[in-house]
Chains A and B, each alone.
Chain A
Amino acid sequence: MSLSRKRNDILFFALCVLPPLLLYMVFYIYPTLNTFWLSLFEYSGIGGAMTFVGLENFAYILKDEHLLKSFGNNLILMLFVPFPTLIIALGSAAALSRKDLKERNFYRTVFFFPSILSFVVVAIVWYFIYSPNSGLLNNCLNALGLKALALPWLGDSRTALGAIIVVLIWQAFGYYMVMYIAGIDSIPQELYEAAEVDGASPFKQFYKITIPLLWPVIRITLVFMIGGTITISFLVANVLTAGGPNFATDTALNQMYRQGTINANYGYAMAIAVVVFLFSMILSMISNRLTNREEKTHG
């Protein structure tokens, strides 16, 4: 290849990469750096003066009881959302990968559907489902004679968080199911045939073939789930319960939103964002470390 042709190629690549890179810097990198910077200030967020306060915002975080409680809610969500989502998504993916299921396309579409809805729409739909007097859930329970179970789901601090966990799982599992289906489809059919010949049951095939070969995909989706739980839970909680009742469904990001917009403590809100970022990063790193295995090769 001549030198000028190579230079032309490099120029071409640079021109292709430059616009998205610029957009990425402006809309991702700069705001992230700005967040870290603003967390060191006391600022109302409404155009007033910015006062440098160093790590004072972070010191307050350690004393802020509401915020610490909301981090507790984040931990609960982290325990009860990713794993059920993973299991349900994996199970449906396995069920829908069987070549002999005629309606598989229909089910695939239906299960995937919730994950393409906007999160606000998801929250509003479930708001009506959970509505105590006219909602789908309570009306079903009443019709089945289970009147005692027809609770005010979103208004009772004991049930509100669980109600939100259900919404989050419902919203997410279809998305990951599709990823797992694609992963399973790429596993060579001969492996299953050979296992069948050896007398392995479908469950054993799933456990010994599907999961190990799907493991890299599972690892990545776990990281997605961690980040997704943090952001989506904020949106859903904000619309469904506004963090209530009595702070029962408050997540750290809800607190951030409230301190930043309603309380005019923008600097403090940015400090909360920084802590959530670190929390998310540490969890992802732990998840990655725990799920690290040697890559199994085929055959």
Chain B
Amino acid sequence: MKRMVLALLAAICLVPLSFAQAKDVKSFSNKTLNVAVFQGGYGRDYWDAIIAEFEKDYPGVKVNLTASPKIGDVIRPQIVSGNPPDFIYFNEGDAGGVVAGMIKDRSLTDLTDVFNGPAIDQKKAIKDLIIPGTLAGRSCSPYLDGKIYLGPYNYTPMGLVYNKNFFDKNNIALPKTIDEFYALAAVAKKFNRALFTYQGIYPGYLEEIYVPAVYAAGGTKAVQSMYTYDPAFWTSDAAKKAFGVFPKIAALDNGLMKGTVALNHTQSQTEMMKGNAMFIVNGPWMEGEMKDAPREEGFTFGFAGFPGFKAGDPTYCQTGIETFMIPSKAKNAALAKEFLRYLYTTKSIKLNAEKANGVFAVVGAADLVKDKLSESTYNFYKGAESMIQVTGHWGVLPKSSKLNIADEVNNPITSLMNGQMTIDQYTAQLDKVWKQAAAEIKAAN
């Protein structure tokens, strides 16, 4: 009897502990966190807000935030001197080469335990919150060894952007096949606009066309073949068909807007919004990036995927992932990991939608934050949900490789668009590059 009473008393005493959340029990010896973030189309308001919340929920913690459009250049000297920030957010395709360098050097902290571990505000492992397939992909597991080195942030469907109001008003139907897309060039001419423009001096944006196009032409096999430097890829029909879209657009009457190849991203986007081109390639950050830009009367953002090659094909779009990372030499990896966990709370996901108009790579995120997103951004994501989403990332080359695959694939597309290179010359040139990459990988193993 006495034992039972004692046990009951003990149980009652221990009950309050079950309400204590992890953050009260854990105490961090180092309470200073250095966070460095890319500041671009999504701005920095989300970071200011979430850090304020984090400091409130973890009293005593001080977070130092560095935000810059050139964050790579800002933190590079810190990393080289052995003093990296504890937590970094980089945009996709970071031009500073810092992410690529750190992946090559293997100087990122293993985050697998964070994702296998529990979420802060739900009874789930964090990895179960994330959109399936994301964590296993190269964006998060660059070495494809099951270990996660980069945490997913915004996921961004990318594809053709058009003026929805213009299409609705003039009863123009979205193209369901690539041939219908080409046919719209004649329609566009009647409205004094070209069919297509893109961010001329940054041909990398055209990835948002050729990746879905490769999938449309050859399925997952073709996409994997491309990303893993299969030497047979460039001689395949899928490659010629997919990349052949570019010379076709260039050869169309009224296909490519005049002057496109010399425009930068804001100029080409402005031209499209002013009604000089029907379509452009972009992602959901475009609205925020162009919020002060001039546009034609009644312009609204619409998102269309890449139309397939045959009648009855679905539409495809490329999705990308922005990522978080914690350098292995970070002085406060423990608190940085906790901060990472904190970013996957519902509060954070909603703040991100509200302040940055961004959507975390979390299952059901678009609907979770529908009330916080602008209508066109919500339509972007909702639209993408009905498309075949193609993700992928160039495989990591051995450390000593001097190849920059993105440049090798993207830069000559300008010549395709200028009519100075044929598709056969292009694929032949890249065939050589792929064979070199494959040889380098073989030699390193």
Contact = CB atoms under 8 A, between A and B. Distances in A.
B148 to A, nearest CB: 20
Interface size class of B (residues with CB under 8 A): 35 or more
B195 interface: no
Given A60-B402, A133-B271, A262-B100, A46 B259 contact: no
A155 B104 CA distance: 32
Interface stretch (B77-85, B234-242, B337-345): B77-85
B414 A42 contact: no
A60 B400 CA distance: 11
A196 interface: no
Nearest to B95: A262
Contact of B96 (A47, A130, A261): A261
B262 A246 contact: no
A258 B415 contact: no
Contacts of A259: 402, 404
A263 B97 contact: yes
Interface string B93-107: 001111011101111
Interface of A: 42, 44-49, 53, 60, 64, 130-133, 152-158, 241-242, 244-247, 258-259, 261-265, 268
Given A157-B420, A246-B411, A246-B412, A44 B402 contact: no
Given A47-B84, A246-B421, 19 more contacts: A44-B101, A46-B76, A46-B80, A46-B102, A47-B79, A47-B105, A131-B263, A133-B271, A152-B200, A156-B420, A244-B201, A244-B411, A245-B411, A245-B418, A247-B411, A259-B402, A262-B96, A263-B402, A265-B400
A262 B97 contact: yes
Interface in B278-335: 329
B109 interface: no
Contacts of B420: 156-158
Chain A residues touching B, majority SS: loop
Interface string B243-262: 00000000000000011111
Contacts of A152: 200, 258-262
Contacts of B97: 261-264
A132 B271 CA distance: 12
A198 B95 CA distance: 66
Nearest to B81: A47
7 contacts: A46-B76, A48-B101, A48-B104, A49-B105, A133-B258, A155-B263, A262-B404
A264 B102 CA distance: 9
| Top 3 A-B residue pairs of the complex, sorted by shortest distance between their CB atoms | A132-B259, A155-B261, A48-B105
